[in-house]
Amino acid sequence: MATSKPIETSMSYETYIQNEQKSNVRHELIDGVLVAMTGGTAKHNRITRRLLMSLQSHLSERYGVYEHNTNVRISDAKADTGFYPDVVVVCPDMADDEIYTSKATLIIEVLSESNTHSQMKMKKRYYARVEGIKYYVEIDSTRRQVDLYVKQGEFLADTDEITDVLRLDDLDYEISLEEIYQ
């Protein structure tokens, strides 16, 4: 999902997460700045749903697989930061009463027209800081393009172009682009 203009500054993560539980509108917190999120398109939602179903059927024995209602806290950002990626895979699984995680193995963002290149570049830098992250995937809902980034040192590095199948070897998981975009 995309974000819009900042609406408040210098908010702590604890205050942010308390407010999110009461709010009808989702927000992301970027370096202490609260930013309202916009909704996704029907195509965006179908892609997200397909990924969730596929990941749950392949990984649920070993990992927790969550949709966009799970907040990912970036603990070592210069100020408090939290995002709602479209899909989050967590190991070990979260407790039933947890509403955010600071650990993730896989994060997937399904992009819409409202996402800007600079927004996604910024998120990639933050996601590289998530404890346990191995993969970050951007899936464009407006055209057939999937970008896979793999953790290397402190960064998420680009991989070769994904043309047929998205493979996540460390998770023993793959999905065809045909299945993603059907």
**Domain count within the chain:** 1
Q: Can you give the pLDDT at residue 65? A: 95
| pLDDT tens-digit readout, 104-139 | 999 999 998 888 888 999 999 999 999 999 999 999
| 65 falls within a domain | yes
| 56 falls within a domain | yes
Instruction: Give the domain CATH number at 128.
Output: 3.90.1570.10
What is the extent of the structural domain holding 116?
Answer: 39-181
| 28 falls within a domain | no
| pLDDT tens-digit readout, 47-71 | 999 999 999 999 988 999 999 989 9
Cα–Cα distance, 57 to 65 (Å, whole number): 10
**Strand pairing class (100-101; 106-111):** unpaired
- Band (pLDDT 50/70/90 cuts) for residue 72 is very high
Cα–Cα distance, 137 to 158 (Å, whole number): 10
| 9 falls within a domain | no
Can you count the helices (H) and strands (E) in the chain?
4, 14
Kindly give the residue spans of alpha helices, DSSP state H, lying in the chain.
13-22, 42-59, 117-127, 177-181
Q: Can you give the pLDDT at residue 3? A: 55
Cα–Cα distance, 171 to 28 (Å, whole number): 28
Q: Can you give the pLDDT at residue 161? A: 85
What average pLDDT score do residues 82-105 get? 89
Task: Tell me the β-bridge partners of 89.
Answer: 65, 106
Cα–Cα distance, 93 to 109 (Å, whole number): 20
The model's pTM is 0.91
| 2 falls within a domain | no
| 87 falls within a domain | yes
